[in-house]
Structure 1
Amino acid sequence: MNMHDRPQAQPVLDWASRNQHWLAAQFAALRGRLARQLRDTSANAEPPPPECADDFEPALEALTKLFGLSAFERDVVLLAAGVELDSALRRLVGVAMAQAPEAIASTQPTFNFAMQMLSEPHWDALSPLRPLRRWRLIACEGREAPPRRPIQIDERVLHYLTGLPAMDARLIGLVRCEPVGSIEPDTPQANTIAHALGTGAAALATLGHARGEIEPQRDLARAALACLGANGLWLHARDLPHDPRELAEIARLLDREAALSDAIIALELDRPIEAADAEAHAMTLLAHLMGPAIVLNAPEPARLSRLRQRRMLRLQVADAPAAARQVAALRGLTREQAAALAAALRPALRQFDVPAADLRLVVTEALAETQADPALLGPAVWRLCRAAVRGGLDTLAQRIDSRVGFDDLVAPPVVTAQLRAIANELQHRPRVHGDWGFAAHNGRGLGTAALFAGESGTGKTYAAEAIASAAALDLYRIDLASVVSKYIGETEKNLSRLFEAAETSGAILLFDEADALFGKRSEVRDSHDRFANIEIAYLLQRIETYRGLVILTTNMKSALDRAFLRRIRYVVQFPYPDAAARETLWRMQFPSDAPLGEVDFAGLARLQLTGGNIRAIALNAAFLAAAGGGRIEQDAINAAVRAEFSKLERPWPGVGP
């Protein structure tokens, strides 16, 4: 046998090519069926449609299974697609439509035409409750009675039948399709979600995060989709239409797109506290959706109770453990770099919840800044981690750059000892709570609250700065005007937003003049009193559960609620400075570069002034001296003292022996 006589191997076609060949054969077979019914003897006899091989499922057969089409409904879809893609079939339908009793000159078939020409017809195929119209597989529009309306295949369905990647045009801009990704790292929670979503169409997985962070929830949702081998249809609640009818239509299109794309719907919400309207629209959408879905930043369980038809799985997403984030950040480094960085990262990650994405940037910058010097890495990593987790707190409070140390404070030894004890607690918190197990032993009351009481200007804010400097933590002053609201419920929302932003950084929160916010709970006389008491109770709870330090300053300790005082770990009383303390304060106010003349510090110390008053007088005297072009003499200081006493509405006692 000659080698040229051997049968040539047939080229192996991919699925898309096989699907197109199969679909063309189906159109040819349909032409033959229609021609025979029309007794068109000029039409060539067409072979019967080919059978599907075991290793091949064409798109039309997959569509039939997905939506439960009958044989007649399947042929209606084939007919509607054929007149769009097969010119010979379109001409044949035009001839047949011209011969129909209604004599419609059109190449677009009607439902009546399909009933007459296709096998196993049934009238209820036209019902809005049957798959053809329910899932918008065909469009059947017009002014005529429904059976006489032209049938047109939906564009997205036509793309699906031909094997073209596409998305419904009505969902573009609203939905983002993400192909299935890898499953690294695999987690038990991801497997749990995947198992729940795989149990049936009514499954709903709702995810939440203690601080409303979305990235850990996205990572877990993607891992669950990877477990299922499913694509993701991602959309955000704020992009949803407001009209209920539009929402119902979007839900239907989403369910259809999920079926056609082998995908799971993933709906993101903003934190419910900030997006009540978007949450309501999301709940309406979920009520209409029929397929499995994942909800990120899900509402509270009580708000999900209306979705009774759903089998619901609710999970609280935890941040990646510090050890896991550390391992991920050290990938790709040399052994020496990894060892030095691991030692530097360990304490920083126990204090700061740095997202994994930002941690790699911290590592890169720390290495470039320190040249991997182990002596410099620790402080650099701590500082960079501290900056990385500030996040939204900078927009909610005023960050104070602390330049004051304990040596700069003028306070009695007992006060300084209390302040150092607070700083020591902040520094050793990871060891006591983590290594020694106090956090696991008692999960409540692990936060630290300190009350600084004393007259204005006695050094309360300076003391907070000294603690922040010693602990190398950020200090934020809370503007009460931005927190307290006259509208019921708004104060709690503002406080929740503030504490959630602070949790990531473990920053020190300073509530100045706290008696305005933490006053005694009043007797309930009306609804406003009741809600005011709720605000105080909510605040007490958040302070107790906050993992950082909360410092409250007040001029009137007696004005604070006693229940609140019981929750305070440290109460520091800042006394009015005595003469010796005042002289020290006077001497400390003038920098070494200041041109200071002869000043009677002993005489100035006899003036009954606080540290805040003394700082203001020294600064005013310096400007007076600068305007006069000379040194800071006693006369300039006396003039500034007179102005300060006038401001305080107190008589000027004079300075001198």
Structure 2
Amino acid sequence: MNNAPSWNQIYCRLALDEVRDALRARVDLQGDDAGARTAGPARTDRADVEASFGDPEVVPALERLCACFQLTPFERRLLLLCAGHAMDAEFATLCGQISGDPDRHTPTFDLALTLFNGGHWMPFHAHSTLRYWELIELDDPKPPNLSPLRINAPVLQYLTDYPCHDPNLDALLILAPDSGALVPSHDACAQEIRALLLEDQDGTPPPIVQLTGPEDDAKLAVCQHAVRPLGLSVSCIDTRVLPQEIQSLQTLYRRLERQAILAPCAYVFQADVHESERVAAERALRYLLQRLSCPCIVTGDLALHVPDRQVVKVEVKRPTDEEQRTVWTDALARHAPKPIADRDLHRLLDQFDMNETQIRTVCRNWRATSQAHGGSAETSATPFERLWRQCRTQSRTPVSGLARVLEPTPIEWDVLILPDREKRILHTIVEQVRHRRQVYREWGFAEQGAAGLGISALFAGTSGTGKTLAARIIGSALQLDVYHVDLSAIVSKYIGETEKNLEAIFRTAETSGAILLFDEADALFGKRTKVQESKDRWANMEISYLLQRMEAYTGLSILTTNLQSSMDEAFTRRLRFIVQFPFPQHQQRASIWQGVFPKQTPTGTLDYAKLARPEISGGVIRSIALNAAFHAARDGGVVEMQHLAQATREEFAKTEKTLLPQLVADWVETSTEVTQAEELM
């Protein structure tokens, strides 16, 4: 380990010698016994040291500091006096001898005026350079001329070649960790930012760079690769913790600016904030950006309007298909417990639009779960099924109460009783979702335009006919999450709020490939009205926004309606699929009854033809079957016709509908006869 002093440390020592000489001279002038004064280190010949260690092309830290803050000669000496007191015990002894009291051994403004010619009162003012930038600190600002002074720790660290660390910023600044290589498209963003920062600004601060786009994880890495070749570090600031009071913001600005001078850096303001926090974040951010002269980068979609500052937006997009393929290949080579087939890799690329961080995290987790799954339920899953599950979990994003996530569960197509034509349409939907990326991107259909690439469907039918069940079966077939959105709950009476809610849902689902199921579409998509009032115009805008967003969404979006006839034809023309869910007839109801009970459920002799008599939907049948199972569990554990009769009567009573007695009269004949025979015995 090399313990030799650096050139900055040597230069600082030489500058301190000049101040030490002034202190010694003052002690001698006051008539103190020269022998009583502590002998300091021998004076180093400045010319010899500079000839041995100095580099004429390197400006010492002390001189850089004086130039950056435009310190006067007096302010320079006062700063060195405080630095010497912190570094050399002789300074404290000499200060105590000059004051005549060993306990008053700290520097003061009054002492500096005594020592150095050319002193004036301006450095004592609160807005003077030394105090404004907190290069020195006063223990008691009243009175300032007699207050003990000390040099600020980061300033002393800067002068002596130690890493500058301001403890006042610890709670705010996060030093960005090192990042690996970028994919080519993100590296191009980094080069664009670097070029912007290197442009000659004619003495004005560089432009503010705002990073937009969906790639939140990659934005920080792009910032690092942009500024580190310029000799800058990256410090992150969460805008949500910025103060709101002007005085606190002013203090924060001074400390951030000073830190950027002492330890050259770029500040990255992470401004991905909730709507309720947006106004406060924009106000605090605007105050700082208008004043900071160092490179500043903002991530997020805040509306930045900074007076006298140029704001340049750079979009950080998702890695391209080819870049994702390259990352997958590298990550699988490093972490995969076993190789996967090319067709399986193609399926992953088709379904999940993931960034580099997500891909590498998935592969690491896949390896860990593959090593630990022995003896658990996971043993029944193939390695690729575990990898797929990791992809689905990693790409899933919280939906903030706007939607309910329905994870895929084993549901067979047989439980869905529909006409053959409608089932064929559902299978076609599954095929198009599976191969959409191949057709759109590899076969060139996406180049024809960004709109119209989404796969949209309308499920029309009365309540309980299987619309939600069909969406879940599609999710099971594709092994994808279904985001169940109740449109009646997110439609807002406030102008613009509905669009914000919808955008949040689409943005959340975009990367996960989730299926979007918009239930109760009648809440929004009734007959579009003529614009007679302002509310009509906004209602039509909400409909148009959803149509456009569904067309641009890269996954599958499904709308359900109970009344297709009430929907505008102009809307239905823009949907790719329309699936009718007719009310089940007697034969369909019998089929639903046959498949409604899980295999594990113990059932007696059930007459499905009799059960199918009441004209009820599949959803009502499932509700009756569930309630009957509970009755059977109470009576001994086998579902019989009498349990179903009881549950049917309860269901009709709940909905206040009339159940004709003859429909269920013979459901319990056999059971009643058996009971009567037992009583006679």
Return closer, same or farther for 1:116/1:572 CA change in 2, 3 Å cut-off: same
Q: Is residue 650 from structure 1 mapped to residue 653 from structure 2 by the alignment?
A: no
Aligned partner of 2:672 in structure 1 is: none
What is the DSSP-based 3-state SS (H/G/I as helix, E as strand, rest coil) of the residue aligned with 2:191?
A: helix
Give the deviation of 1:622 after TM superposition.
3.7
Return closer, same or farther for 1:37/1:599 CA change in 2, 3 Å cut-off: closer
Give the deviation of 1:454 after TM superposition.
0.9
What is the DSSP-based 3-state SS (H/G/I as helix, E as strand, rest coil) of the residue aligned with 1:457?
A: coil
Give the deviation of 1:505 after TM superposition.
0.8
Rounded to whole Å, the distance in 1 between the matches of 2:176 and 2:471 is 48
| Equivalent residues, number | 633
CA-to-partner distance for each residue in 1:322-361, whole Å, 9 max, x for gaps? 1242144134369x955x3655333213311334334334
Structure 1 residues 83-162: aligned runs within 5 Å: 83-93=85-95, 107-111=105-109, 114=112, 117-118=115-116, 131-139=129-137, 152-162=150-160
Q: Is the 8 A contact 1:31 1:46 kept in 2?
A: no
**Greater shift after overlay, 78-87 or 239-248?**
78-87
Letter in 1 for 2:153: E
Return closer, same or farther for 1:177/1:322 CA change in 2, 3 Å cut-off: closer
Rounded to whole Å, the distance in 1 between the matches of 2:19 and 2:344 is 73
Give the deviation of 1:416 after TM superposition.
1.3
Give the deviation of 1:524 after TM superposition.
5.8
Aligned partner of 2:171 in structure 1 is: 173
Q: Is the 8 A contact 2:223 2:234 kept in 1?
A: no
Give the deviation of 1:114 after TM superposition.
4.0
Q: Is the 8 A contact 1:69 1:131 kept in 2?
A: yes
Q: Is the 8 A contact 1:352 1:385 kept in 2?
A: yes
Rounded to whole Å, the distance in 2 between the matches of 1:438 and 1:530 is 34
Rounded to whole Å, the distance in 1 between the matches of 2:334 and 2:225 is 23
What is the DSSP-based 3-state SS (H/G/I as helix, E as strand, rest coil) of the residue aligned with 2:334?
A: coil
Give the deviation of 1:278 after TM superposition.
3.1
Q: Is the 8 A contact 1:197 1:293 kept in 2?
A: no
Aligned partner of 1:495 in structure 2 is: 502
Rounded to whole Å, the distance in 2 between the matches of 1:262 and 1:566 is 58
Q: Is the 8 A contact 2:318 2:354 kept in 1?
A: no
Rounded to whole Å, the distance in 1 between the matches of 2:5 and 2:528 is 73
Return closer, same or farther for 1:331/1:271 CA change in 2, 3 Å cut-off: farther
Q: Is residue 609 from structure 1 mapped to residue 612 from structure 2 by the alignment?
A: no
Rounded to whole Å, the distance in 1 between the matches of 2:505 and 2:2 is 62
Aligned partner of 2:581 in structure 1 is: 574
Aligned partner of 1:310 in structure 2 is: 309
Q: Is the 8 A contact 1:185 1:223 kept in 2?
A: no
**Greater shift after overlay, 360-369 or 539-548?**
360-369
Give the deviation of 1:405 after TM superposition.
3.2
Aligned partner of 2:417 in structure 1 is: 410
Aligned partner of 1:66 in structure 2 is: 68
CA-to-partner distance for each residue in 1:249-294, whole Å, 9 max, x for gaps? 1011011111111222222122453631334322332233222112
Q: Is the 8 A contact 1:348 1:381 kept in 2?
A: no
Rounded to whole Å, the distance in 2 between the matches of 1:636 and 1:178 is 65
Return closer, same or farther for 1:94/1:484 CA change in 2, 3 Å cut-off: same
Aligned partner of 1:28 in structure 2 is: 17
Q: Is the 8 A contact 2:604 2:638 kept in 1?
A: yes
Structure 1 residues 394-433: aligned runs within 5 Å: 396-433=403-440
Rounded to whole Å, the distance in 1 between the matches of 2:612 and 2:392 is 41
Aligned partner of 1:295 in structure 2 is: 298
**Greater shift after overlay, 591-600 or 502-511?**
591-600
Return closer, same or farther for 1:197/1:382 CA change in 2, 3 Å cut-off: same
Give the deviation of 1:193 after TM superposition.
1.6
Give the deviation of 1:582 after TM superposition.
2.1
Q: Please give the root-mean-square deviation of Cα atoms over the aligned residues, in Å.
A: 3.7
Give the deviation of 1:453 after TM superposition.
0.9
Letter in 2 for 1:231: S
Q: Is residue 224 from structure 1 mapped to residue 222 from structure 2 by the alignment?
A: no
Rounded to whole Å, the distance in 2 between the matches of 1:181 and 1:359 is 15
Q: Is the 8 A contact 2:234 2:267 kept in 1?
A: yes
Letter in 2 for 1:156: P
Q: Is residue 586 from structure 1 mapped to residue 584 from structure 2 by the alignment?
A: no
Q: Is the 8 A contact 1:484 1:491 kept in 2?
A: yes
Match of 2:396 among 376, 390, 393: 390
Match of 1:547 among 537, 554, 566: 554
Aligned partner of 1:82 in structure 2 is: 84
Return closer, same or farther for 1:15/1:178 CA change in 2, 3 Å cut-off: farther
Give the deviation of 1:79 after TM superposition.
2.4
Rounded to whole Å, the distance in 2 between the matches of 1:594 and 1:235 is 57
Q: Is the 8 A contact 1:448 1:548 kept in 2?
A: yes
Q: Is the 8 A contact 1:216 1:318 kept in 2?
A: no
Match of 1:284 among 268, 283, 287: 287
Rounded to whole Å, the distance in 1 between the matches of 2:177 and 2:642 is 78
Rounded to whole Å, the distance in 2 between the matches of 1:434 and 1:181 is 30
What is the DSSP-based 3-state SS (H/G/I as helix, E as strand, rest coil) of the residue aligned with 1:654?
A: helix
Letter in 2 for 1:133: R
Aligned partner of 2:677 in structure 1 is: none
Rounded to whole Å, the distance in 2 between the matches of 1:424 and 1:176 is 46
Rounded to whole Å, the distance in 1 between the matches of 2:538 and 2:492 is 12
Letter in 1 for 2:393: A
Rounded to whole Å, the distance in 1 between the matches of 2:400 and 2:253 is 39
Q: Is the 8 A contact 1:341 1:377 kept in 2?
A: no
CA-to-partner distance for each residue in 1:217-242, whole Å, 9 max, x for gaps? 11211222333232222221122222
What is the DSSP-based 3-state SS (H/G/I as helix, E as strand, rest coil) of the residue aligned with 2:557?
A: strand
Aligned partner of 1:467 in structure 2 is: 474
Q: Is the 8 A contact 1:181 1:226 kept in 2?
A: no
Return closer, same or farther for 1:319/1:406 CA change in 2, 3 Å cut-off: same
Give the deviation of 1:92 after TM superposition.
4.2
Rounded to whole Å, the distance in 1 between the matches of 2:110 and 2:369 is 78
Percent of pairs with identical residues:
36
Letter in 2 for 1:227: P
Q: Is the 8 A contact 1:272 1:279 kept in 2?
A: no
Give the deviation of 1:377 after TM superposition.
4.6
Q: Is the 8 A contact 2:510 2:555 kept in 1?
A: yes
Give the deviation of 1:465 after TM superposition.
2.0
Rounded to whole Å, the distance in 2 between the matches of 1:410 and 1:377 is 33
Give the deviation of 1:435 after TM superposition.
0.9
Q: Is residue 215 from structure 1 mapped to residue 217 from structure 2 by the alignment?
A: yes
Rounded to whole Å, the distance in 2 between the matches of 1:278 and 1:506 is 32
What is the DSSP-based 3-state SS (H/G/I as helix, E as strand, rest coil) of the residue aligned with 1:505?
A: coil
What is the DSSP-based 3-state SS (H/G/I as helix, E as strand, rest coil) of the residue aligned with 1:304?
A: coil
Instruction: Calculate the TM-score normalised by the size of structure 1.
Output: 0.84
What is the DSSP-based 3-state SS (H/G/I as helix, E as strand, rest coil) of the residue aligned with 2:235?
A: strand
Q: Is the 8 A contact 2:606 2:641 kept in 1?
A: yes
Instruction: Calculate the TM-score normalised by the size of structure 2.
Output: 0.81
Aligned partner of 1:353 in structure 2 is: 353
Rounded to whole Å, the distance in 2 between the matches of 1:182 and 1:460 is 47
Return closer, same or farther for 1:81/1:516 CA change in 2, 3 Å cut-off: same
Return closer, same or farther for 1:169/1:615 CA change in 2, 3 Å cut-off: closer
What is the DSSP-based 3-state SS (H/G/I as helix, E as strand, rest coil) of the residue aligned with 2:662?
A: coil
Structure 1 unmatched runs, 5+ = 1-10
Q: Is the 8 A contact 2:83 2:151 kept in 1?
A: yes
Aligned partner of 2:679 in structure 1 is: none
Structure 1 residues 430-579: aligned runs within 5 Å: 430-480=437-487, 483-522=490-529, 531-579=538-586
Give the deviation of 1:438 after TM superposition.
1.2
Give the deviation of 1:406 after TM superposition.
2.9
Letter in 2 for 1:192: E
Return closer, same or farther for 1:521/1:249 CA change in 2, 3 Å cut-off: farther
Rounded to whole Å, the distance in 2 between the matches of 1:82 and 1:623 is 85
Give the deviation of 1:451 after TM superposition.
1.0
